[in-house]
Amino acid sequence: GHDVQVVDPDVRGYVYGLVTALGGFNGEDADRYVLGDDALACLRDIKRWLKLYDEKNNRMDVARCLGEANLINGDILPILGLWWATGQKSKHMTRISLACLELLVPLTWPVEFHSQMTVNHHRHTPYIQQTQVQYKRGILKYGGSNLLRAIIRIALPSMVTARSEREARDEGILKLMLYFLRNIAIISPNTRLAAEGEEEETSRSATINAFHDQDAFALLLTMCSNVGEDFNLQDIILMEIIFHIVKGVNVEKLFMDDDQRKVKRTDELSELLKKENSVRREYAKNAPTRHGRFGTMIWVKRDDAKVSTVSGQDVLRDDQTTLHKMDQTKKWNKPKPRRKQDDAIQNSNFNMPAHLNSEATKNLRTFVEEFLDSGFNPLFTHVRKAIEREAERVLDINTRQFFYTVGWFLEAERVRRAWQSRQRAAQSAGRTKDIEPDSYGLVAGVLNQETFISLNRAMQTSLDNKEWQDLNAQMRCFTQVLLTVQEMAMSPLEEDQEIAENIQNRIFYEETTHDRILAIVRGYKDQGFGYLDACTELAHVFLRMLERYSKDNADMQIRSRRKAKRTQKKADKGIEDGANDDEERDSEDEDEVEAAQVTKERSFDFKRFAAKFCNQSCVDTFVTFTGFYKELNSEQLKRAHRYFYRIAFKQEMTTLLFRVDIISLFYRMIKGPGPMDSSKSVFKEWEELVRQIIRRMIKKLDQRPALITEMLFSKINSTVYYLEFGHEKQTSYQS
Amino acid sequence: GDSALGLGLDEEVKVTKQRQPVAKLDESRLLSQAGIPKLRQSARRKLKFKGKGHEFSDAARLLNFYQLWLDDLYPRAKFVDGLAMIEKLGHSKRIQVMRREWIDEEKPRPFDSSE
């Protein structure tokens, strides 16, 4: 019963009539779906309604009615089942099945909250999202029949036709089938809505297993490896499907033996238990030893004969807890600005980790390996070209998906190689048999100059236009490229080494690349944790590789593009200092000078480059990152540790860390409340680092009493040198 | 109501109570006697460190010192929030000039200060 008519009753009437006329389960033989006399016409009419009412008026009424009338699960799926079981030879049934597919695609099309929504959209979107999950559940698990396989079957005749002989209709059918697979891959239970039924049935694992069991993966592999030849127009959509399958999947866990994974999982469990234990211990340390109404109250003596009162027995323990409690009882919180959420969340939420069960892990791993072996190069080369050409089928979102997916598979290839060599070592235990090392040819399609150029250009554009999620994907991709190249350089194959050398030379040759990395790290301002993670990782990997490379190649040259010297011009102008006309002409000249950039080669000085990361904004970025220390893993904690170590002891700029909030964070990480897990090895490293930093700080406070006020603020460039070294900089150059 | 007299006697007088303005942690508060001057004085008087081997207890002493000072200066804010607010103030022109002055005070050679 609807109290409010959300849909025009006439429309509802028509649509319901059509659905009823489509067919139904016969009364005598209740298991059998019987088609209505004019089923095909009904299907076409429904399609027309969707097109001419919903699409044309930008409404979602018909889609909602169809959801309420249970069209998909009640009619379409049984009809497709019928076709799969008995009707494949019949031309009429084949036509009907195609009409079903034509309805399935628009009805499973992802709906999202976006900025241009009407009232009508707001009304229907949650309902439709909910029903789409039900559609997916039905499609993945309809009775005993294979609906995915049935739908692939519909497109098979068009697939086997050679590309030259394919008609527009065939291409259309292929497109429908692929979009259908993509929609199925995208749909996932909305976390904001209450789940109905088993969530596991529509999870990523369920999708992957269905794709594997019903040969959707086989289809994808065939099409990907023939993308240049037989399937020209399908490249983007194929990549999209793969993106939605792999997004957020942890590569490390994918390439583990069952035993390893079991061990890993047990480790994780015991780690979690330990974590919980330590939380409990932490609480027990401060927990009251008597009942809640015992009513202790203490005075904290302050200056000027003032006192503060704090209640509770726990505060008797020591000053730290007392002061902590004093702070915690304050009610006011500084308002925090909230960042606006990105529009298309569902389409690109690769920051959310996806968990797979062991069967899905195995299936996905098989697919990933086969894809790397045959489909990777053809698909991604083709997609890159399409993106560069700005082909009509390419949407903005596809660029982001491209870079993320490339990065993901590069990581997968690296992890797979490590996995394989582990396995080989285990098999030939003891015997050191010579095994032909594989080359990196399998991923060479993205390790070429063209890809680097487009990656660099894309990063610059995203940075300039503040498209953070795009930049996030590109940073992850770039990091993976760097890591792959690093491993190639260590390959036993001479050819690989040479290529790696070449690539590194190219990557590190452009000074603009160096400056961009710096600008990204400096420019972090609440873009979210995923972005923070990506940009700190990139900076970490880039700096370390560059350091090693410039050490090995002492005479490394870089191409630096600089604006022509303007200071000189200005000085000249100062002498003339003429009338208005002159000035105008001068400013014109200046513009020209500005446009002309001087390009020259100069030798690279790593120390000077690393010094550029030594500034307050970079420090702030890493401090924000470290602030998540309770959720960070060892690798991430190490990354932050190395950075601060570099600041404090390699570049001798500890002063940048002498800020009360930073010291307070470091102190909390080691001594609590809520410290790091002290059983981890990285804890020891951190403890030592913090100890050293504090020691220097105490010493400095003695030497320079002004630091007591400066501890409150970010340092000003002109005073930071004095605070560190006790005298002014000798030279006048500014870095 | 008989408001024909037009004296407006019957009309209610609207009294909009001015909301008590919330004290702000701003430049002048930070520079007032309870602010930085007090911080500098009491640091000189009270802050004593044990030095090598006692890094963490020294750090705790320092942090507590700042917390109590901030609690006196602006009791409303939690420690972390207060620190963030002060840090932000440090970017303003006025405070920057003052900061420079505090540093210059302790510099040994006056002829260096010309820039």
Give A173-235 as a DSSP string: HHHHHHHHHHHHHH----TTS---S-SGGGSHHHHHHHHHHTTHHHHHHHHHHTTTTT-STTH
Compute CA distances A577 → A78, A573, A584, A593, whole Å: 87, 6, 11, 19
Highest mean pLDDT among A19-23, A556-560, A564-568: A19-23
Closest CA to A205 of A358, A360, A364, A366: A360
* Residue pLDDT, tens place only, A613-639: 988 999 999 999 999 998 898 999 999
Spatial distance between the Cα atoms of B29 and B22, rounded to a whole number of angstroms = 13
Range in A311-325, A560-574, A655-669 with the lowest mean pLDDT:
A560-574
Give backbone dihedrals phi and psi of A675, rounded to 5 degrees, phi first.
Answer: -80, 175
Q: Does residue B94 sit at the A interface (CB-CB below 8 Å)? A: no
CB atoms within 10 A of CB A486: 17
Spatial distance between the Cα atoms of A210 and A139, rounded to a whole number of angstroms = 10
Range in A124-133, A236-245, A259-268, A725-734 with the lowest mean pLDDT:
A725-734
At what angle are helices A319-328 and B55-73 packed, to 10 degrees? 30
* Residue pLDDT, tens place only, A253-274: 888 877 777 777 788 888 888 8
DSSP line for A492-541: S-HHHHHHHHHHHHHHHHBHHHHHHHHHHHHT-SS--HHHHHHHHHHHHH
- pLDDT bin (cut points 50, 70, 90) of residue A493 is confident
A220 touches A240 (CB < 8 A): no
Chain B residues with CB under 8 Å of A728 CB are: 112
Spatial distance between the Cα atoms of B63 and A527, rounded to a whole number of angstroms = 30
Closest CA to A482 of A417, A546, A532: A546
Whether the per-residue pLDDT at A1 is higher than 50: the answer is no
Cα of A659 vs its chain's centroid, Å: 32
Average pLDDT over residues A288-307: 80
- pLDDT bin (cut points 50, 70, 90) of residue A592 is low
Q: Does residue A595 sit at the B interface (CB-CB below 8 Å)? A: no
Range in A46-60, A311-325, A464-478 with the lowest mean pLDDT:
A311-325
* Entry pTM: 0.86
Tell me how far apart the terminal alpha carbons of chain A are, to the nearest angstrom: 72
Calculate how close chain A gets to B32, using CA atoms only, in Å. 14
Higher pLDDT, A726 or A481: A481
Q: Do A334 and B84 touch (CB under 8 A)?
A: yes
Chain B residues with CB under 8 Å of A719 CB are: 99-100, 103
Calculate how close chain B gets to A317, using CA atoms only, in Å. 15
Whether the per-residue pLDDT at A28 is higher than 70: the answer is yes
Average pLDDT over residues A599-608: 82
For residue A210, the model assigns a pLDDT of 92
Two tokens at B34?
Answer: 């309870």
Chain B residues with CB under 8 Å of A714 CB are: 87, 90-91
- pLDDT bin (cut points 50, 70, 90) of residue A589 is low
Query: CA-nearest residue of chain B to A712?
Result: B87
Angle A76-A80-A85 from CA coordinates, rounded to 5°: 150
Range in A109-113, A134-138, A563-567, A713-717 with the lowest mean pLDDT:
A563-567
Spatial distance between the Cα atoms of A451 and A381, rounded to a whole number of angstroms = 9
For residue B111, the model assigns a pLDDT of 52
ipTM exceeding 0.95, yes/no: no
| Strands A597-603 vs A33-35: parallel, antiparallel or unpaired | unpaired
Beta-bridge mates of residue A557 = A603
Higher pLDDT, A356 or A729: A356
Whether the per-residue pLDDT at A417 is higher than 70: the answer is yes
Spatial distance between the Cα atoms of A518 and A622, rounded to a whole number of angstroms = 13
Taken as a whole, chain A contains a residue count of 735
Whether the per-residue pLDDT at A580 is higher than 60: the answer is no
Whether the per-residue pLDDT at A294 is higher than 60: the answer is yes
Task: Kindly provide the b/e burial profile for residues B1-16, where b requires at least 16 CB atoms within 10 angstroms of the residue's own CB.
Answer: eeeeeeeeeeeeeeee
**Element counts in chain B: helices (H) and strands (E):** 5, 0
Average pLDDT over residues A97-103: 93
Taken as a whole, chain B contains a residue count of 115
For residue A348, the model assigns a pLDDT of 62
Residue indicated by tokens 């795009």: A470
Chain B residues with CB under 8 Å of A303 CB are: 42, 68, 72
Whether the per-residue pLDDT at B7 is higher than 90: the answer is no
For residue A581, the model assigns a pLDDT of 47
Higher pLDDT, B13 or A704: A704
Angle A113-A115-A118 from CA coordinates, rounded to 5°: 80
Query: CA-nearest residue of chain A to B109?
Result: A727
Q: Do A698 and B39 touch (CB under 8 A)?
A: no
A&B contacts, CB < 8 Å: 124
Whether the per-residue pLDDT at A78 is higher than 80: the answer is yes
Range in A57-71, A297-311, A505-519, A663-677 with the lowest mean pLDDT:
A297-311
Whether the per-residue pLDDT at A470 is higher than 60: the answer is yes
Closest CA to A155 of A130, A172, A135: A172
Task: Kindly provide the b/e burial profile for residues A696-727, where b requires at least 16 CB atoms within 10 angstroms of the residue's own CB.
Answer: bbbebbeebbbbbbbbbbbbbeebbbbbbeee
Q: Do B59 and A694 touch (CB under 8 A)?
A: yes
Two tokens at A253?
Answer: 């866990």
- pLDDT bin (cut points 50, 70, 90) of residue A331 is confident
Query: CA-nearest residue of chain A to B84?
Result: A661
Highest mean pLDDT among A308-322, A399-413, A491-505, B38-52: A399-413
From the list B59, B87, B90, which residue is nearest A663 (CB)? B59
* Residue pLDDT, tens place only, A371-390: 999 999 999 999 999 999 98
Whether the per-residue pLDDT at A568 is higher than 70: the answer is no
Return all residues near A208 (Cβ < 8 A) that are at least 6 apart.
Answer: A245, A356, A360, A363, A364, A367
Residue A336 CB burial class (10 angstroms; 0-12, 13-18, ≥19): exposed
For residue A584, the model assigns a pLDDT of 47
At what angle are helices A204-213 and A216-225 packed, to 10 degrees? 70
Q: Do B87 and A326 touch (CB under 8 A)?
A: no
Two tokens at A515?
Answer: 């400056």
Return all residues near A559 (Cβ < 8 A) that are at least 6 apart.
Answer: A509, A510, A511, A599, A600, A601
Give the mean pLDDT of chain A.
Answer: 85
Two tokens at A231?
Answer: 């399937």
For residue A184, the model assigns a pLDDT of 94
Closest CA to A412 of A210, A216, A244, A249: A249
Spatial distance between the Cα atoms of A353 and A366, rounded to a whole number of angstroms = 20
For residue A280, the model assigns a pLDDT of 86
Whether the per-residue pLDDT at B24 is higher than 90: the answer is no
CB atoms within 10 A of CB A189: 22
What whole-number percentage of chain A has pLDDT above 70? Answer: 90
Angle B48-B53-B54 from CA coordinates, rounded to 5°: 40
Q: Do B67 and A327 touch (CB under 8 A)?
A: yes
What letter would DSSP give residue B110?
Answer: G
Q: Does residue A661 sit at the B interface (CB-CB below 8 Å)? A: yes
Calculate how close chain B gets to A663, using CA atoms only, in Å. 8
Give the mean pLDDT of chain B.
Answer: 82
Residue A671 CB burial class (10 angstroms; 0-12, 13-18, ≥19): middle
Q: Does residue B66 sit at the A interface (CB-CB below 8 Å)? A: yes
B99 touches B93 (CB < 8 A): no
- pLDDT bin (cut points 50, 70, 90) of residue A686 is very high
Window 266-305 of A: residues touching B by CB (8 A cutoff) are 302-303
Average pLDDT over residues B65-78: 90
Q: Which helix (H) or strand (E) holds A20?
A: helix A9-22
A152 touches A216 (CB < 8 A): yes
Q: Do B115 and A719 touch (CB under 8 A)?
A: no
Highest mean pLDDT among A472-481, A715-724, B48-57: A472-481
For residue A270, the model assigns a pLDDT of 85
Average pLDDT over residues A326-341: 79
For residue A652, the model assigns a pLDDT of 79
Closest CA to A667 of A699, A642, A691: A691
Two tokens at B110?
Answer: 């006056």
